[in-house]
Amino acid sequence: MSNQTEKQQTAPPAAEKKPVVLSKHGDDRIDNYYWLRERRDSSVIAYLEDENAYTNHVMSPLASTEDQIFEEIIGRIQPDDKSVPYLHNSYFYSRRYNAGEEHPVYIRQRKHLEAPEEIMLDANQLAKPHDFYQIGSRSVSPNQTMLAFGEDTFSRRIYTIRFKHLLENRMLPDELTNTTGHAVWAADNRTVFYTRKDETLRPSKIFRHVLGTDQSKDVEVYEEKDDTYYTYAFKSKSARFIFIGSFATLSTEYRYIEADQPNSAWKVFHQREAKHEYYLAEAADRFLIRTNKSAKNFRLMETSFKQTAFRFWKELVPHSDDVLIDDVDAFANFIALSIREQALTKIRVISHNEEVHDIEFEETPYSVFTTNNYELDTHQLRISFTSLKTPTTTYDYDMHSRTLVELKQQTVLGGFDPSHYITERLMAPSRNGTQIPISIVYRHGYQMDGTEPLLLYGYGS
């Protein structure tokens, strides 16, 4: 072993300083390490290899501990597992992991769960030629025959969108590179919209692609020129509308077209304003808008499909100083609000006749959120629940009868028994009197007299 190699292993490598002056908004700053952005530069690669060698040297005494921790984590995971199927356009979709395989298998079943499984994608087979492989977003055409999916083979979240004919079980030649991995289908089953990234990996441009044509022929339909915003396309729940959303830290803006008119001009829903965030959901006959305009904790408003300017918005749920509205799920006869009250997540249901109730759980504290609710005309709400002692549990909640049905609870191997633990939620006053929530979990028999060890974790943003 050379002295140079020994030095690289035992001493932290020092990156060379190469000052670059960067100017923005009339201010100059010096970045001594700007050169490290050049990922194909041999000197950058050499420096990263030195960093890796040093890390391996420092961590080598802990190799056996790392192996022990890894085996303990793996030992608690169910090796063969299947997600809870969810309904979308007459098909039940789910994901399955087979024992001994690293990647998921994506399947669907037509109309009912007793129907034969159709394998849409087997990521284990697709991954074989690659050192790294990850499937991103997946979307099926309105006529249920074509699948668009994102594929990352470099671990940079730069996806190539590929297409598969599900009925004929064959890949199409179309490939869309340098994307976010998500494709939005128009109603004609041959046009898709997708987002490309700029050199900083910011999602910045929306393109329209027609199946059977080369990507070079794709039409750019929108460019987000303000680099403080990113953009992406998505479809409304009924599939009637396609949206382009632009998002900054404190501001949003949307454009939209009808999905059966993919070549039409995009309309601005409401023009962006500084410090105005608004988010859209489609109900059966109107748009719902979650907005922070004159409402720091957000309020819920509505407007017709044809009158989207702010002056036409009408308030449905007023602002509350004590309740933050985090998200909205809209249905034909119900609205499900994801809210946060005293730092605790809750689901609040509003019926078409304006009756309001919260979904109740026996445990506290807990975390709950809605998931995979793609059907508009339903009274079933899919939710996911977890607590400090309860593994992730999937429920269907009947918003009409107000009943919960447990569909699945995550299996935790290794002898875990939630009945051995107690959870509590306390409120502690800060120096200025603000009540700070504290969630506690401990095993039966724990002596809360200050003599026992405690792992304390705090988070703020």
* pTM strictly above 0.85: yes
Q: What's the rounded Cα separation, in Å, for the pair 424 and 247?
A: 37
The β-bridge partners of 37 are none
pLDDT tens-digit readout, 95-152: 999 999 999 999 999 999 999 999 999 999 999 999 999 999 999 999 999 999 999 9
* Span 285-303, average pLDDT: 97
Contacts of 138 (CB under 8 A, 6+ apart): 106, 120, 121, 147, 148, 149, 150
% of the chain at pLDDT higher than 70: 98
Contacts of 399 (CB under 8 A, 6+ apart): 331, 334, 336, 349, 351, 379, 380, 381
More confident residue, 448 or 203: 203
Within 10 angstroms of residue 37's Cβ, the number of other Cβ atoms is 12
Whole-number mean pLDDT of the chain?
95
pLDDT of 44 higher than 50: yes
Q: What's the rounded Cα separation, in Å, for the pair 408 and 393?
A: 6
Q: How confident is the model at residue 346 (pLDDT cuts 50, 70, 90)?
A: very high
Residue 448, pLDDT score: 86
pLDDT of 87 higher than 70: yes
Q: What's the rounded Cα separation, in Å, for the pair 278 and 455?
A: 39
Residue 444, pLDDT score: 94
- Which residue has 């670059």 as its token pair? 20
Q: What is the dihedral of CA 113, 114, 118, 124, to 10 degrees?
A: 70
Query: 395: closest CA among 362, 437, 417, 418?
Result: 362
pLDDT of 5 higher than 60: no
Q: What's the rounded Cα separation, in Å, for the pair 348 and 287?
A: 19
Is there a contact between 254 and 246 (Cβ–Cβ < 8 Å)?
yes
Burial of 44 (0-12, 13-18, 19+ CB in 10 A): middle
* Span 229-247, average pLDDT: 97
Q: How confident is the model at residue 9 (pLDDT cuts 50, 70, 90)?
A: low
pLDDT of 305 higher than 70: yes
Structural domains of the chain, with CATH: 3-73 (no CATH), 130-276 (2.130.10.120)
pLDDT tens-digit readout, 402-458: 999 999 999 999 999 999 999 999 999 999 999 889 999 999 999 888 899 999 988
Q: How confident is the model at residue 461 (pLDDT cuts 50, 70, 90)?
A: low
- Which residue has 């794709």 as its token pair? 218
Q: What's the rounded Cα separation, in Å, for the pair 144 and 223?
A: 30
- Which residue has 């249905």 as its token pair? 331
Q: What is the dihedral of CA 73, 133, 191, 166, to 10 degrees?
A: -80
* Span 178-192, average pLDDT: 98
Query: 262: closest CA among 162, 203, 183, 193?
Result: 193
Q: How confident is the model at residue 223 (pLDDT cuts 50, 70, 90)?
A: very high
What is the SS3 string spanning 370-396? ECCCCCCCCCEEEEEEECCCCCCEEEE
- Straight-line distance from the first to the last Cα atom of the chain, in angstroms, rounded to the nearest whole number: 48
Six-digit token string for 329: 């799920």
* Span 157-186, average pLDDT: 97
Is there a contact between 397 and 403 (Cβ–Cβ < 8 Å)?
yes
pLDDT of 6 higher than 60: no
3-state SS of the chain: helix, strand, coil percent to 5? Answer: 15, 45, 45
